[in-house]
Amino acid sequence: MAQEKAIPNPEGELVAPLLTRPEKVAIVALGRSVGDYLKETMSTQGMKDPWDEIWSVNRGVRGIQHDKLFVMDDIAWLEDKDPCYTDFLKRHDKPIITSFAYSDYPMTVEFPLQEVMSTIEDDVFTVNTIAYMVAYGIHIGVREFSIYGADFFYPGGSTAESGGQAVAYLLGMGRHFGFTHRIPQSSTLLYAHKAKLASNGVVAREPYGYHRRRELEEKKARKELSKQRRERKDDVT
C-alpha cells in the first residue's frame, strides 16, 4: 500500500493529500474548453466554488488555481527538458501527485498506482494524465466531476492528443461507481461539442441517422415555401 506522505500546506500545517475525500471535483486542463472554466469562475467571483477540490495538470501549475496538481511524467526526467518548469515545481506550495516523489521537490506525493489498479481492474488509465486523474477520482469515491480543457482533438484539425478514448472509457465506467460528469459544450470530449439545446431546455446530442428525418423535413419546408412564393408572384402578375 502507498505510504500516506504528509506535506506542509501554505499555513505550515502537515496534511496528507491522498487522504482527502472530495465529493465534487473540477479537473482543469489546458485545452480550448478551459475558457469555459475561466468564464464560469469569473462570473461567480467572490462566491464559494461549487467544487470541493480543483485538480489541474502539468503546466496548469502556473495559471490555474488548484488544490492538487497531477504531473505523471517523472519529474527528474523533465529537468533537462524544461528546467524553468521543474524549478517552478520545486517551489510549488500545493500537493503534486506524480509517479515518483523526490526530496528536492517537497510537495511531491507518489500516485497510489497499485491501489487504483485494484479498484479499476484495468490498466487503461495509465496512458494519459487526465485518465490517471479520473481513475484516482473513482478510487477515492468522487461523486461528480466537472472536466474542462481535456479536449484531445479539435474539429478540422489534423492531429489529436492520445488518451481521449481511455478517459471516455473511465467516465462510462464511473457511472457504475455512482459518479456523474459535466463537460462544457465547447469541449470535444465525449463529443460534447455536438450537443444542442433542445426546446425542452435539455442539452443533448442528436442521434446519428435520426437527424436525416429533420433534414428531409427542412428541405420539404423550403420547397413548400418556394412554391408559395412563386404562386404569390404569379397572382400578382
- pLDDT tens, residue by residue, 66-100: 999 999 999 999 999 999 999 999 999 999 999 99
Q: Which residues of the chain have pLDDT under 50?
A: 1-2
Check whether residue 136 and residue 52 sit in a common domain: yes
Angstrom CA distances, 17 to 101, 143, 162, 190, stand at 13, 18, 28, 29
Indicate the pairing of strand 144-148 with strand 108-110.
Answer: unpaired
Residue 114 lies in domain:
7-195
Q: How many helices (H) and strands (E) does the chain have?
A: 8, 11
Sheet holding 24-28, edge to edge: 108-110, 96-98, 68-71, 53-57, 24-28, 144-148, 180-182
Q: Which residue shows C-alpha cell 498506482?
A: 113
Does residue 120 belong to any structural domain of this protein?
yes
Say if 200 falls within a structural domain: no
Whether 22 and 87 map to the same domain: the answer is: yes
Considering the domain architecture, whether residues 82 and 41 belong to the same structural domain is answered as: yes
What's the CA gap between 114 and 101, in Å, rounded?
16
In this structure, the number of other CB atoms found within 10 A of the CB of residue 79 comes to: 16
Give the total number of structural domains in the chain. 2
Provide the pLDDT for residue 1. Answer: 45
pTM of this structure: 0.80
**pLDDT tens digits along 143-178:** 999 999 888 877 776 676 777 889 888 998 888 888
For residue 8, what are the CA distances in angstroms to 4, 12, 42, 219, 222? 13, 5, 29, 65, 67
